[in-house]
Structure formats: C-alpha cells, structure tokens
Structure 1
C-alpha cells in the first residue's frame, strides 16, 4: 500500500463484514490484522480486499484449530493474534494470514515498469500519444481518439471508485478523479480529460515507487544476515541454514564472512566491521567474551561464536520488528491530520459543487465555464498529499533512525523526543562502559610493565571483573605474562601465587597493609586514587609493596562529546545513579554534569517526577532493571544498548549500540522529522491554495489542477525520503 487512503479503504471495507470486530491496517508494512468471530471465513476477507484492487500474497499460519486453513504452512512473518473467546486474529495476507497485500500501483518487487500499475500508465501514455497523432492526421476524429485514450486509464480508476463506494468509501480519490474526467468530457474538454487521467496515473506510480523505497529501506536490513552458517557439531563443521541455528550452538566464522547470528566470541580475535548495522566507520577489535551482532563482517581472524539469540530475535530482526510496530503508533500531528481529512474531502466536493452552480444560477455566468472550474476544484482538493505528508515523514524518520541503531516505538515518541529539555542519565553502563578498566599503574622500586605482568600472572583464568580489567590492560600493553603457580583466592582479601619462585599477593589496601606497612607516600597515593572514585589493588612481592593498580568504570569514549552535543541542542543533563557518591562525583566532574548519587530505584523515579513538576520535559536514559521505574515515569524513556530486556521493554526508545552521542542524534532526527512534516503540510496546502485561486480567476484549468494534487503528493513523499539520507552525527 502506498498511502493512508489505501489503508482507510481497506479498513472500512473489512469492518462492513458481519462478524468483524476490529481491523488494523499497516501502510508501512503492507499488512492488516483482523479480529473476527467464527462466522467469518478467511476467504471472505481475502475477497473483500481483492475487490478493492489489491493483490494478496503469502499467508501466515495461526494456531491450529482457529480456522480450517490454519494448518497450512507458508513462508511469512509470524504475528501474535488474539485467540480468545471473542474471535480469531488473522493477518491479512492470503487466506488465514492475509499479510502483505499491495496496492497494484505500488512498485513492489522488481522494476516499476513490470508492475500492473506501471504497465497501465505506459499503455495510457502510448494511447495519448496515438490520439494526438490521429488528431493531427484526421482532425474530425481527434476527439474520439482522445476519448478512447482516456478510457484506457479511466476504466480501472472508475471501477476502483465504484467498489470503494459500495464498500463504504464514497469520497475516494478515484471517485473525485472519475467525476472530474467524465464532467470534462460532457463539457467538451476531452483532450484535457485524457491528459488529467494520464497525469493521475503517473502521480500514483511515482507515489508507489517512493512508498516502496521507504519500505525497502528498513526491510533491506534483513538481507545483511547470511543465509547459511558453519555449525560445529560432533567435532565437525557443516553448513546449515542460519535461520535454523539454535541458541547455544557453536558456529565458525571465517575472515571476510558476515556473522550469521548474535552471539559471544568463545575463541579468536578479529576486527569486526559493524558499519552495516551500527554505522560505526571504524572496525571494532573484539576477542573472547565479547558480543557480536548478526550481519556484521568478520575482518582478519577466525572466530568461534556461541549463538545467543534465535534468528527471529537477533539484533536486525528486532530492529525491523520494532520499527514496523512503531510505524503503526501515530504521532499526535498524524492523528490530527487523519481527523481533519475525514471532513476535508466531503467539504471539497461541496465547494466544487458550489463553484459549478452558484455563479450561473445567481449571477447569470456561463454554465460550461463554471462547471469546468468546479471540476478543477475537485481535483485540486484531493487530500492525498495532505494525508501522506505526516506518515511519510514519520516512516522515513523511524527507518533512518533504525538503520543507525536508534529505535523509537512509534510516531508519538519520534515527535516528542525533540521536545525534551532535560536528559537524566544513569551512570554504570550508560555514561560509562559498565566494566572496570585499569587507569593507573604505580610501581615502587620496579618497572611499570613488571608490576602489570606479575598482577596479570596472578589473575590468569579468573573471570572476576577486576581480574579481567588487569588482563585486558596487559594484553593492550603487550606485556608478557604466564600463569602463576599455586594460585588461589583468599575470600574478601585477594589472590596469592608464585612466579619463578617469588611469592605474590594482589589484594585490597586493607589486606595488603596486614602483610606489609605502607609508607606515608604510598598511603597518600592510595587515598588520592580513592578520592577519584577508583578501586585500588596492591601488589606484594615477597611481602614487599611492589606497586599499585587503580581501576575504575571509565566514561564511554563519546560521553563528553554526547553531553556537549545535547547542550548545544538546548538540553540540560543530570546523572542519577545508585553508585557511591565519591565515584559518581568523580565521573561527573570529569564530564561536567550534575550528579545525584546513592539512589534507590524509587529515588530515581521521584527525581524524574520532581523535574517534571518544575516544567521540564524529561528523557531518562538507562540500561538496568533498577532504571525501569524511572524509564516508565519519564516523558521519554531511552534504553541504552546492551541493556536488560526489562529496560528495553519499559523504554519508549532504545540506543542499540551504546553511544551517548546517539541521544543527541535522536533529538536531531526528531526535530528534522517535525520540520519535514511542517514543510510537507505547507507544500500540500500551499499548492492547493495557489491553484484554487488561479482556477477560480480562470488562469489554470484541469491538467494544472491534477498537477496540484499528484505533483504535491510526489513532492511531499520525495521530501520525506530526504530523511533516509540522514548521516551519522547529523
């Protein structure tokens, strides 16, 4: 389907079937879900849709027993349906699932000129050229030639108009077009009528191509995932379908291959090109225990990966599903335009009728001239451009965001994010990486690399976060180390072991002080590091203090830039965290952000309420279960990438790839989308106003009038498509 009028006709027609309780039509996904009782046969739904001129493809199987055809298997998306006592859900796609019907003027799959509407437009154009040639050669039959050329395009249009009227939509664009064309023939403007019909078909075709492009922009993400995967099974590797990979299975990904599933690296190290999914231009170096996304490209190393998500739940599938669902949630502006258009079209018919009859009846004007103007007013007043102005921009904005990992659950969310005045950030995993990193290595009487090497030897094989931070720092610094002998942990104190006959201990300052006293200088350094919110581990070699290793959960690489970008956008920022005050204030001071620390989940929620009471429009950004109450309370809740499922479900939007800078990008996208909507409404109404005046005063006629409608429709659609070209950081 190409526009909201398509959806309205299908919605109205299906609701007129006895036994249908509800119908939900998706323009963006090209689907409709129908809730009905047992008296409705799925074939009746298919027939009603087909009567309107839509092609029905595919079929979604529903639960067994819901209908005679529910057990049929078809390749289509699964949807959750209501199978309660009041009826059965059927996705309108085929018989049971009726899920992916397309208007025949959509571009669909393949080139536009092979579509039914494309062929009709070409035939009408050729007939128009032939009529023109006949008119030049035999002027006496020229009018009849143009009449035949007009009928090539008008007959299918009139048929759709009549069916739509029978099924509850009398004021369709096809009906206005039919009335105008036939009226023009009656008053002798046959050549113009033929041209108007051809221009109408061209406009619909262009609208269909643009709508298909918008739809394909998000569906194209699914093509990033490879069809096959190398599965390790019983010590052997075999090629299997990527869609069949179960959670927990082990796959092998060779250099240069796309990763077929979301998972965790078990062995191997490689540069992962995440640009196709995240837009990140620099490949990310990843190794064991790090996560990878389906559709990203493995660079230079062989990877063994444990599959963490089934094909229907991987990152790309979730993006596509969330965007399709989001596009069904209308923005306030879109809902207003929908309500306005219900009264607008009948009003246009009334105005056209008044223009045609009032001047001749009351002022003795010429009937032919004013009927002609009344017909032109009908064409000018067609609501297509106005109706599509908002949903086209919303769909393009949601798709553009999704391709960069910015998911927004509906048009209302996309519209409101741009109104946010204050962003409240969680700390751990949101402003920071969510894992400790070594920040300082301070040796005493030894080389820095030696302290790091000995500490890494003690921590080899440990999965403790602090141990992993030390091991990561040693690898990053290319410091050699070997596993310590007789390594063991002392509960609440640290770890012990030996390397080359030398006894080692790595633990807390308190535990180390019991084994070797600190000098004044050493104690001061530990205190200074603690003041900076860092955790300090002390290394002892043969019960002598050899060095200090300080660690802290550091800010994300783009945290500073992200907060600066928000400030430039006119937004304030605040850190709300359950972490200890000293650590939070140290991080906050480095980022230049106000801090509220040592908060419980209900405290975060209370702060959000407090800020709202002060008049702020609040966005809460977090990634943990303890953020869920505040995310729900905020005007806009945004879950950070890698966050818990609870946070993702509670939030209104999600930044999948964990960049603080993406919050500012989301705000910018919202504001760009709303500016685009305002431009579209101005184009739609402005062109109509101009041509209405010029038609009334006799400057323009029928074919410029159809340009005012189809031209405006194409212009607003093309303007909305500009949002798809939004680039990273813009």
Structure 2
C-alpha cells in the first residue's frame, strides 16, 4: 500500500473525493478501523493521511474503496506505490457505486462517471416528461423510473456511508426525501430533485478539480526532457532521470529542467512562471536556477542540485498538499458544529412533518412534503466546505507566488499579527556586501578600484568579491600582480604596475601612510553609516578608499511600509553591531535591537507576547531557530533551500520583504472570504427554511438551496486564486 515517513503514517491519494461530505465519510470510516489514531483529509489535494499503531494497510484502502472511491499512489519521494492487493483494489471503478470520480483535472466533465450519471438522469427525466404527455396514465411510473436512474447510485452510497459511521450523509437525506416524495405522490418532483442534486454534485466536482489543478499546474512548468552532458557528448534524456551532480546544457529559450547551479555561461533568466517577477534576472556562474524558469539569451552549463522529486516546484506542491490537510481553528469549529447541526436538522424536519398534523389538524401530505424539503435545505455541505475551500485556494495562490504557509492554522494566524520581528543579514539585507562608495585622495576613482581589484583577484572573502564585482560592473580591466602578500588582520599587498600597493583597514593604512583629517572625517562618516572601509596605499601615500556594506534588499523599505500601513509594528532583531544595525534601521525606518544572541531574540519575542502582541519572527531559519519556534508565526526567508521550505511555520521562497505583507493580506482576504461563505451558506438555508414552512417553496428549490449554495461558496473561494490588486 502507500506509506510515508514511518510505519505509523500512511498517505493515500483518493480519486473522486471533491466535497466536504466525501471527506466526512472517509474520515469517519477510517476512524472506525482498529488502531487508527488520527485521520487528516484534504479535499483540495485529494489526499488522506492516516496515523495509526500498526493498522492493516489494506484494510484502510478497503474502507475507502468500499465507499466507492478510488485509491491511487501518492506521488511523493519515498512512497511505495500501491499495488491494489487484497481488499484495497485500486482498479475499482468509483462510478459503479459512487459517481464522484470526475477523472483527471484536465479531462472533459461529460466523460467522467459523475458526468455520465448526470446526463443519464437528465435524459431519463426528459423521456419521462415526454412519455407522461403522450401517455398520461404512465406518467407516475415514468417519473419513478427516471428518479431511480439517479437515486440507486445515491442510495448505495448512503447505505455504505451509514455502515461506515456516517448515517446523516447528504446522500441519506437525499434518499429519504426522494422516497418520501414518491409516497406522497410527488414522483415528478422527486425525479427533478434527484437530477438537480446530481447537477450540483457535478458542479462541485468541476470546482474542486479547478482548485486542485491550480497547484498541480506548477508541475507542468518543468520540461519532460533535458540535454545531458557526458564525456563531451550531449544527449536528450528524461528530466526525471537526472541525479544530483549531473551536468546539463540549457539552450536559449528552453525551460530549465531541474534545480541547479550555473557552471558556465551567463544569461537572463525569466523567473515569472515560478516567482511572478516580471523582469528577467541576469545570472552567471555559481548562481542558482529554479526548475521551470526560462533561459533567455545565453547557452548555460548547469550542475543539477536536486532530483526531480526534490526540486523546488515538487517540494512546493508537496508542502501545499500537506498543508491542506492541516485544519484551521475556524475549520475545526465548523466541523464540530456540523456534527450537531445535521442531526438537529433531521429533528426539525421530523417535527415539521409530524406535529402540525398530529396536534393542529394539518394535512399529512402537505406537512410531510415540507419536512422532506427541510431535510434537503438542511444539508451541511455548503457550510462545511465554506472554510476548507477558501483555505485551499489561498494556500495554492500563495504557493504560486512563493508564499508557503504550512496549513490553515498558520494562514489564519498570520493575519492577526501585530508585531513583525526581522533578522537583518539575509532577511532585510541581501546577505552579501556591495561597494557603496569609492573615495579618491588624489588618484582617479577608476584607478583606486582597478588597483584594489588587482589585489583581491582570487580571494573568496566577501569584501574581495564585492570589489571584484564592482570592477566588473564598471568594465574595468584588472592588471596582473606580483609578490602578493596577505598581512594577517590588516590587509593585502602586492606589486602592481611596478608600484607597491596595499589595501586594508584604516588603522593598518595609517601605519604606512598619513591620513589627513579630512580623509579621516570622510571615513568616519562612512563608518557611522554602517559601512566597512578599506584604504588603498600606493608607495606610502594614501590614494583612496572603498566603502562596502550589506545593503537592504531593493523592496525592504516598501515591504516594511506595507506592514506599518497595515498597523503592524516592525522591529529589527540582529546580532550585528549596533552602529551598522542603526544605520540600516534609519534607512528603512524600523526599530532596532542589535548585538543579540539567538537566546536574546527568543527572549524578546517572549516579552512582546507577554505584552499581548501577536508576534511574527522573520529570519533565515538557522541562527534564528529559537525565536522562529517561539513566535506565534515563524517565517523563514530563503531562495528555495531546504531550510526555507522545511523550517518555521511559513516560508518566503523568493526572499522579498514585501511578501511578508502579502502573506498578511492573503490571510485577511481569506478570512473575509470565509465569513462571506458562511453567510451565504446559512443565509440561503434560513431564507428557504422560512419560505418552505409558509408554503412558498418546495422540494426542487430546497435542493437548489443546498447544491446552489455549495457551488456559490466554492466559486467564491476560487476567487482567491486570482492575484490581489493590493
């Protein structure tokens, strides 16, 4: 069968599960299996995860297929594909008894079992109408036959669900209402109601397919084939056969088939399909690439860093599917409410059907009819799906933007945060220094940078890399050196163009040359801005200086402003020195607490929580781990690394500070959507309940109140898949 992570956890993909009623039936059935301790069902992902103490795996599959669903392997790393042995027959046709198998998300609805059953029921209803007009004496029987075409599969599902622990399923309520209508002489209406019910289920399936496809479509971004470089030869192979360390060639215009690092070549990379960035990013050797992005104008040699099952897109899809199995507090409340709500509806329907005729002389057929209509009105599908549909759509929409939230509880909580605590290095800043200023003390700026770059050639020190990058950016030709010598803790010296040149700290430079007060003042001002300054000395004369700093991310100021505008307090918690941190903080307009150890950050998070704040901690997921764990929501910043994807409660995949504000906005829009859904679900039922009791509406409007509300709620939730206009 299908196992994941440990012997006590089994994950299965379930075909045809596309509504809240489906999820409830499967959950109840599995919880009745001995040794099962917990069941998590995701309608949106079409998956079920069962935690158990050594339960019979085949028995789990048999319970699901017994309800009429199809069990298929979960496509994840480390999962053994199900073979359909024993009772868990994976070749079972769910259309035989369930009718929920709507087939692949990209298939035509009329080819699915549900579509075929709906068409058959509609055809039978149309034929019954014609026969009734042509031969009036057979009208009752014609509509009875038409009703049975759709009701027999529904009744089978109702019976199977009742045996598995769900006696008050929507199928059972539908069956009782339809059979009851026949007994009071409303066979035409009963047949119509069955047909409308099937249409509603079909629309639910189509909507669920669309939601499920929204995240699965990401996997289609990765090409099926790759150009493998081996022994000087290039051959085309299946992309899923690539292993870590493989060398591949990516031509201009091709999609990149795997996560990797550029070994040779330079090109503009269009990351819009994965990150949403509209502007291509220029990348060269040693820079990382995402699978599914598009190579622009250069031929690249790339070393594969992740197998197909572990590339960024595959892990995003896996993470979102697992997150959809985690219920939000609102969703858990609705689930508990519905357990009492549905039996309550049955009681109300029974009272409406019996009390008026017994106590007040009402007409039995009239009040039984109203009671049957109330049964249909009271079906909880729209209410139960109102929350998970919105959460699933939001998780999918977020993932497509690189906003990874690990479950509905995180999605709900992040909209409530009142303080956002940011790490500095690698979170608010890019994590690597860049040259910010080139000072000339007599020589030309270009000469200062040219000679400094010559001294730093071949060094892997971050400051050296910054100087070399700036020289390359300005198109400066770097001369050769001789007699290079590293002076520990001070700098580096060498002979360049026949002159002895030194580059190092201002203190070390003052040992070799005189730094005028004016120059010292300029260096001090740069230091006050949190910049590191290296001074260039040529033959005992100070020639200039270069200032470097780990600069804020391009969107950092705007991202922090978005949070502030949303009423969220922003704070920098950093282990960096106070002067540097204050300088960055001033430029970004953020409160600063500097010189902190990891335990200090954790303590400060706890202090904010004690003051009543809801705290989000945003960091790189490694040295911020204690604070990330302590916060109400821990958000890891990263570029697709395992840490960014697998630690904390959420991850900003593409390292944009503004994406934290986007997470908050997504949460708030989701909660508003859920409130709208609950209002629609309960509001429609309340209206039709009143109109039914006073005799204005009957059975077929009642079923529209249920299936119509379910479709409206689902379609409203799917609006969250569209990008926010904020």
Shorter-chain TM range is: over 0.9
**Partner-residue secondary structure (3-state), 2:624:** helix
Per-residue CA deviations over 1:296-352 (Å, capped at 9, x if unaligned) read 111111112222222222211121111111111110000000011111111111111
- Aligned equivalent of 1:32, options 23, 38, 48: 48
- After TM superposition, the structure 1 stretch with the greater mean CA deviation from structure 2, 498-507 or 255-264, is 498-507
Aligned partner of 1:3 in structure 2 is: 19
Contact 1:427 1:575 in 2 (8 A): yes
Aligned partner of 1:77 in structure 2 is: 76
User: Given the alignment of the two structures, is residue 559 of structure 1 paired with residue 575 of structure 2, yes or no?
Assistant: no
Q: CA 1:38–1:413 in structure 2 vs 1: closer, same or farther (change >3 Å)?
A: closer
Distance (whole Å) between structure 1 residues aligned to residue 285 and residue 356 of structure 2: 82
Q: CA 1:158–1:98 in structure 2 vs 1: closer, same or farther (change >3 Å)?
A: closer
**Partner-residue secondary structure (3-state), 1:306:** strand
Contact 1:433 1:556 in 2 (8 A): yes
- Aligned equivalent of 2:421, options 424, 428, 431: 424
User: Given the alignment of the two structures, is residue 201 of structure 1 paired with residue 198 of structure 2, yes or no?
Assistant: yes
Aligned partner of 2:62 in structure 1 is: 47
- Aligned equivalent of 1:671, options 668, 671, 677: 668
- After TM superposition, the structure 1 stretch with the greater mean CA deviation from structure 2, 101-110 or 202-211, is 101-110
Q: CA 1:153–1:398 in structure 2 vs 1: closer, same or farther (change >3 Å)?
A: same
Q: CA 1:640–1:55 in structure 2 vs 1: closer, same or farther (change >3 Å)?
A: same
Distance (whole Å) between structure 1 residues aligned to residue 521 and residue 405 of structure 2: 49
Aligned partner of 2:572 in structure 1 is: 575
Q: CA 1:457–1:675 in structure 2 vs 1: closer, same or farther (change >3 Å)?
A: same
Q: CA RMSD in A?
A: 2.1
Aligned partner of 1:108 in structure 2 is: 103
User: Given the alignment of the two structures, is residue 292 of structure 1 paired with residue 289 of structure 2, yes or no?
Assistant: yes
Q: CA 1:92–1:252 in structure 2 vs 1: closer, same or farther (change >3 Å)?
A: closer
Distance (whole Å) between structure 1 residues aligned to residue 413 and residue 425 of structure 2: 26
Aligned partner of 2:159 in structure 1 is: 162
- Aligned equivalent of 1:436, options 426, 433, 448: 433
Shift of 1:190: 1.3
- Aligned equivalent of 1:345, options 342, 348, 354: 342
Contact 1:584 1:597 in 2 (8 A): yes
Q: CA 1:653–1:340 in structure 2 vs 1: closer, same or farther (change >3 Å)?
A: same
Per-residue CA deviations over 1:121-152 (Å, capped at 9, x if unaligned) read 01111211222222222222222222221111
User: Given the alignment of the two structures, is residue 381 of structure 1 paired with residue 378 of structure 2, yes or no?
Assistant: yes
User: Given the alignment of the two structures, is residue 693 of structure 1 paired with residue 690 of structure 2, yes or no?
Assistant: yes
Distance (whole Å) between structure 2 residues aligned to residue 354 and residue 501 of structure 1: 105
User: Aligned runs of 1:485-524 on 2, under 5 Å?
Assistant: 485-524=482-521
Contact 1:623 1:643 in 2 (8 A): no
Aligned partner of 2:538 in structure 1 is: 541
Shift of 1:21: 5.4
Aligned partner of 1:588 in structure 2 is: 585
**Partner-residue secondary structure (3-state), 2:501:** strand
Q: CA 1:465–1:39 in structure 2 vs 1: closer, same or farther (change >3 Å)?
A: closer
Distance (whole Å) between structure 2 residues aligned to residue 681 and residue 39 of structure 1: 37
Contact 2:62 2:89 in 1 (8 A): no
Q: CA 1:160–1:56 in structure 2 vs 1: closer, same or farther (change >3 Å)?
A: same
Q: Which runs of 5+ in 2 are unaligned?
A: 1-16
Shift of 1:624: 4.6
Contact 1:588 1:595 in 2 (8 A): yes
Aligned partner of 1:612 in structure 2 is: 609
- TM value normalised by structure 1: 0.93
User: Given the alignment of the two structures, is residue 263 of structure 1 paired with residue 260 of structure 2, yes or no?
Assistant: yes
Shift of 1:31: 2.6
Distance (whole Å) between structure 2 residues aligned to residue 643 and residue 148 of structure 1: 58
User: Given the alignment of the two structures, is residue 525 of structure 1 paired with residue 518 of structure 2, yes or no?
Assistant: no
Distance (whole Å) between structure 2 residues aligned to residue 646 and residue 99 of structure 1: 36
Distance (whole Å) between structure 2 residues aligned to residue 230 and residue 452 of structure 1: 41
Aligned partner of 1:235 in structure 2 is: 232
Aligned partner of 2:467 in structure 1 is: 470
Shift of 1:574: 0.4
- After TM superposition, the structure 1 stretch with the greater mean CA deviation from structure 2, 560-569 or 482-491, is 482-491
Aligned partner of 2:221 in structure 1 is: 224
- Aligned equivalent of 1:138, options 124, 135, 139: 135
Shift of 1:542: 2.8
- TM value normalised by structure 2: 0.93
Aligned partner of 1:248 in structure 2 is: 245
- After TM superposition, the structure 1 stretch with the greater mean CA deviation from structure 2, 539-548 or 352-361, is 539-548
Contact 1:162 1:175 in 2 (8 A): yes
Q: Which runs of 5+ in 1 are unaligned?
A: 61-75, 81-89
User: Given the alignment of the two structures, is residue 657 of structure 1 paired with residue 654 of structure 2, yes or no?
Assistant: yes
Aligned residues: 703
- After TM superposition, the structure 1 stretch with the greater mean CA deviation from structure 2, 472-481 or 178-187, is 472-481
**Partner-residue secondary structure (3-state), 2:254:** coil
- After TM superposition, the structure 1 stretch with the greater mean CA deviation from structure 2, 33-42 or 292-301, is 33-42
- Aligned equivalent of 2:411, options 399, 414, 423: 414
Aligned partner of 2:704 in structure 1 is: 707
**Partner-residue secondary structure (3-state), 2:44:** coil
- Aligned equivalent of 2:302, options 298, 302, 305: 305
